[in-house]
Each structure stands twice: as C-alpha cells, then as structure tokens.
Amino acid sequence: MNTADLRLPVDVPSTALFTDHYELTMLQAALKAGTAERRSVFEVFTRRLPNGRRYGVVAGTGRVLDAVENFRFDADVLDFLRERRIVDEPTLRWLADYRFTGDIWGYPEGEVYFPGSPIMRVEGSFGECVLLETVILSILNHDSAIAAAASRMSSAAGDRPLIEMGARRTHELAAVAASRAAYVGGFASTSDLAAGFRYNIPTVGTSAHAFTLLHDSERDAFRAQVASLGRDTTLLVDTYDVAEAVRAAVEVAGPELGAVRIDSGDLLLVAHRVRQQLDELGARDTKIVVTSDLDEYAIASLAAAPVDAYGVGTQLVTGSGHPTCSMVYKLVARAESADPQAPLKPVAKRSTGGKFSLGGRKWAARRLDQDGIAEAEVVGTGEVPPELVDRRLLVQLVKAGEVVGREPLDVARARHQAARANLPLSATQLSRGEPVIPTEYVQGRPGN
C-alpha cells in the first residue's frame, strides 16, 4: 500500500483556520459591498530570490492541493468564529457552504523558478480565492525554501546520497513537510517516521551516542547492535576514541560491516584516517557516513574526502539561512461585476520601496539556447508567442474545484533533477551571484 495515496492528515482535518484574521474581515466587507462574487485572479510570485541564490525550487504544490480540498468550515470552526465575533452571521452562513470551485494553475512541483515567475495562479470569485492566501503562502514559502537548500546540498554532494535528519530541530509538523520538500530537492531518505508514513519516503536510522553510553563498553554496544540489526548496520564510532571504535567495530561485525558514522571533529581529516584504517582492517566495502551540522558549503568541502553519504539536519530544515522565499499572493486581475462573462481588468499595487506588482493574468515560458540550456524566464500577459508555446511552464492543478494535478512525489523529484540540469552550469555554484537567468516581461492585451 502506498500510504501517500491515502492523504492521511498529520495535523487537523480542516485547514480553514490556517489563515489570517483579515482574510475573513475582507470577505465580510466584500459580501456586504456586493463585490465578493467578482471573478478574480490571484498570483503567487516572489520579487527577488534570497540573497546569493541562483534559482528557486517549487515545492509544496501537493500539500497546497490537500489544503484546498480540506478547506472547510465545520460546526466547531463556525462556533469559534461566532464566539469571537470575528465575522457576522451572513458571513458565517456563506462560510458554512464554502467549497473552492475555481481553477488553480501553477509551476509543477520540482520545477525551478526566478523573480517574477507566476508560481501559482488562483482564479475564482474574490471571496473564495482571498481565503486561501495565507495557507497557500505558508506552504509554498516553507517548502520551497527547504527544497532550495536541499537542491544546493544535493548538487554539492554529487552522486553521494543525503539523509534528512532535522526533525528534532523544528516544529514536529514542519519536520514532516521539510522531509517531503528535501526529498523533492534531491535527498534520498529521512530519519522521520511520520514523513515515511505520510509520503512513503524511505526512512533510515540505527543508533545514537546514548546507545553506546548505555552499555558498559563501546564493544558491548556494538555487539548488541550487530546482534539485533545485522552486520550491515551502521555503527557510530565517535563517542570516545574514533580509532579504537573503528577497530572494535570491525572486530565485532567483521569486514561485512555496513558503515560507520562520524558525527564530530574535523570531518575531512577524520574521514581520511577512518578510510585508511578500514582498508587496513580488510573492511574495504564498509562505507563512511558523516553528520554534524552540515550545510552545502561543508558538503562541498568534503568532495575530495572518502565519504559515502551525508546526514543533514539543522541547516536543511531552516533553509540554510533562508527559511522563507518571500513569496506573495497578489490580486492581478478582476471583473467589474459579478457577471461570470464580465471581462477581466488588470490591477496592480503601486507603491514605493520595491513592493510593486505587474497587473494582468500571466503566462510563463522558459526560452532555451541552441544547446537546450535555459537562457531566460519569459513572463507575459495576453497571447503567448508561437516560439514559446511548447515551453510554457504553468499546468492546471485544479479545475472547477476538482484537483486534476496531483502526482506521485517521485515525479516531482525527477522533474527537479531535469530542470536543474537544464540550467546554465553556474546555477550550481555556491558562490554568491545573481539569478542564473534573467526574467523578461512581455505585455499584451489581457484575456478573459
């Protein structure tokens, strides 16, 4: 059974209160003004990438679809809103029947994005769309930040697998989402069982220093672990003296020992010494796993070390210094009446301080050079130029309220690997720089 297909909740059945107070007060005012039913288009985008990043990674799309499906105002939620006098009775009656009936388009999960990319487009009445703002941004900002960090780390790691192990460094529910996003970004497995259950991500783990300290000697701990888990287990060798531990590990498990884990010290130096010692003891196939506050820079510094896998925690689940993508959800077009056939009018915020937005429902396409490498992110309104039609990026995710874009997580993971491979080589450089390709804007006549 693929548990991911069950979409089992790990938080609460309804996502309706994963929103901000003002979303509901805006709804109430719009209902009273007669404008809540105006056809509207909202878009999710970011004005800039985090400082020094060359590309972003779309993650959380599948979770957004789950959230939209579960956005329901049940009796308990309505009672809460009534008791707090957050909205009036006519608004409560409207919320009781709430179901999103519009359309959602977006970059498919795992795709890369750039400043101005219309990562998600939500279309429907103002009332039904505005309520989704906070939960959509909450998911996309968090998951895309984790996936971007994971992508940089997996690029630095090359063919060596990465283990996500940051559950103890973040909120228990955020940890599940982080594991999912890390998998999209290129990690191979997770230590978090909830993520394994919810999303069918491979889980791994053996023992911590506490298990060694529990026993009268390190050798006794190794014997107990090998007796329980077999010779191909991973033994933690830095509780006391690394060289002594490696010797004991091979004596207990034999040359068939699966791996040793190093969690402290000068990892580059220690890894070389451990590899030499393992080879001298005949354990040439025993792998070396390193952990200990790794980030993409530390992983890159270990590229020449005899390391077989990395375990990453804190830096991953905090976005490696950038825990959000600063995505926003802006109204870009709306009708002038509630008539479903009324044409859309572009609207945009105009202000100082760089918080401007571009009006109109947008499309996006990625232009390639003669070698098939991306050279520009083209974002426009109106008709798509014929030469870019086959390079359009947005796909339909929800149609008339029904989810049509759900896909297995492995598809998103594979898509990201392909999308990153189609970027210029400098995309994977860890040095600070501008987005690896520019965003170009093409304005045309707005369509309906």
What kind and span of H or E run contains 261? strand 259-262
- The answer to whether 85 touches 366, Cβ cutoff 8 Å, is no
pLDDT in tens, 149-203: 999 999 999 999 999 999 999 999 999 999 999 999 999 999 999 999 999 999 9
Report the C-alpha gap between 362 and 381 in whole angstroms: 5
pLDDT in tens, 363-401: 999 999 999 999 999 999 999 999 999 999 999 999 999
Looking at residue 14, what is its pLDDT?
84
**434 has a pLDDT exceeding 50:** yes
What does the DSSP 8-state code read for residue 107? Answer: P
Report the C-alpha gap between 328 and 46 in whole angstroms: 6
Report the C-alpha gap between 433 and 200 in whole angstroms: 36
- What is the crossing angle of helices 242-253 and 267-280, to 10°? 40
What does the DSSP 8-state code read for residue 86? Answer: -
What kind and span of H or E run contains 335? strand 327-335
Report the C-alpha gap between 117 and 137 in whole angstroms: 15
Helices (runs of H) and strands (runs of E) counted in the chain: 15, 18
> What value does the mean pLDDT take over residues 92-99?
97
pLDDT in tens, 211-263: 999 999 999 999 999 999 999 999 999 999 999 999 999 999 999 999 999 99
**9 has a pLDDT exceeding 60:** no
Ordered DSSP codes for 380-443: EESSPPGGGGGGB--EEEEETTEE-----HHHHHHHHHHHHHTS-GGGG--S--S-SS-EEEE-
pLDDT in tens, 101-155: 999 999 999 999 999 999 999 999 999 999 999 999 999 999 999 999 999 999 9
> Comparing C-alpha atoms, which of 280, 232, 236 is closest to residue 253?
232
**361 has a pLDDT exceeding 80:** yes
**What percent of the chain is predicted at pLDDT more than 90?**
91
> Comparing C-alpha atoms, which of 56, 53, 165 is closest to residue 109?
56
The pTM of the full predicted model, rounded to 2 decimals, is 0.93
Report the C-alpha gap between 100 and 70 in whole angstroms: 10
Looking at residue 358, what is its pLDDT?
85
Looking at residue 13, what is its pLDDT?
60
Report the C-alpha gap between 216 and 218 in whole angstroms: 7
Name all domains of the chain by residue range, CATH numbers in brackets. Answer: 16-131+326-442 (3.20.140.10), 147-321 (3.20.20.70)
| Cα angle: 385, vertex 387, 392; to 5 degrees | 75
What does the DSSP 8-state code read for residue 108? Answer: P
Looking at residue 115, what is its pLDDT?
97
- The answer to whether 117 touches 153, Cβ cutoff 8 Å, is no
Would you place residue 446 in the very low, low, confident or very high pLDDT band (cuts 50, 70, 90)?
very low
**16 has a pLDDT exceeding 90:** yes
Report the C-alpha gap between 48 and 28 in whole angstroms: 33
